[in-house]
Amino acid sequence: MASAILDRELKKGSAELLILSLVKDRPRHGYELGQLIEMRSRGALRFNVASLYPLLYRLEKRGWIRGRWVEKSGQRRRRYYRLTPAGGKILKAQREGWREFVEAISLITGIQHA
């Protein structure tokens, strides 16, 4: 069920919103992003490696995020992704749109916020 929803959401592009939100405050690497999404959604959303990385590459290609190899002492080097200014604007617009969408759905379906 959850993965079916995720699939559909992926297509709609809200997966982008998730990624952008997560790299907004500080740079993160792919594995971390996957973990965070799974954790914060309490396991409802889960990216597998085969779909996560193509998505990251796509966002990078559009210039919304930017990946850089970072080496820390005693660790393997990792690729960290951070939000670009353009990505910031997109994030703002998408958050706005998402909020409106959720509100609209709530108004219709009568679901109240806690």
Partner 1 sequence: MPDFKEEIRKRLEGLGLSPAREAEIVEELSQHLDDQYKQALSHGATEEAAREDVLRELSQNDVLTTSLKRVERRVPQNPIQMGTERKTNMFADLSQDVRYGLRMLLKNPGFTTIAVLALALGIGANSAIFTVVNTLLLRPLPYKNPSQLVVIWENATHLGFPKNTPSAANFLDWQKQNTLFEGMAAFAERSFNLTGVGEPERLEGRRVSANLFDLLGVRPILGRNFVPDEDKPGTKVAVLSESLWRRRFGSDPGVIGRALALNGESFTVVGVLPNSVRLPSFGNWRDQIWVPLAFSAEDAASRGNHYLEVIGRMKPGVTLEQARAEMTTIMARLAQQYPEDNTRIGTVVNPLHEEIVGDMKPALLVLLGAVAFVLLIACANVANLLLARAAARHKEIALRLALGADRARLTKQLLVESVMLSLLGGAVGLAFAYGGLQVLTRFIPPDVAHAEGIAIDARVLGFTLLIAIVTGLIFGLAPASQASHFNLNDTLKEGGRDAGAGVRGKRLRSTLVIAEVAVSFILLIGAGLLINSFMHLRNLDPGFRADHMLTLNVDLSETKYPDNPKRTAFFDEVVRRIQALPGVRSVAVAGNLPFTYNGDSMPIGAEGIPDPPPDQRPDVIFRAIGPGYFSTMGIPLVGGRDFNDQDTLDTTLAVVVSEKTARHYWPNADPIGKRIRNGSTTSDAPWRTVIGVVKDVRQNDFIAEPKMQMYFAYRQLRSLMPNALIVRTAVDPLSLASSVRNAIWAVDKDQTVANIDSMEHIVAGAVARQRFSMLLLAIFAAVALVLAAVGIYGVMSYSVAQQTREIGIRMALGAQRSDVLKMTIKQGLKLVGLGLVIGLAVAFILTRVMATLLFGISATDPLTFITISFVLLVVAMLASYIPSVRAMRVDPMVALRYQ
Please name the amino acid found at residue 26.
R
Given the complex with partner 1, which of 43 and 54 has the nearer CB atom? 54
What are the φ and ψ backbone dihedral angles of 88, each rounded to 5 degrees? -60, -45
Part of the chain binding partner 1 (CB under 8 A), chosen from 16-24, 36-44, 57-65, 102-110: 57-65
Please name the amino acid found at residue 86.
A
- The structure tokens listed for 28 are 């993160």
24 forms part of the interface with partner 1 (CB under 8 A) = no
55 forms part of the interface with partner 1 (CB under 8 A) = yes
Among 2, 5, 8, 31, binds partner 1 (CB under 8 A): 31
14 forms part of the interface with partner 1 (CB under 8 A) = no
- Return the H-helix or E-strand segment holding 14: helix 14-22
CA dihedral 21, 24, 27, 28 (to 10 degrees): -10
The site for partner 1 (CB under 8 A) is made up of 30-31, 34, 48-55, 57-58, 61-63, 76, 78-79, 86, 89-90, 93
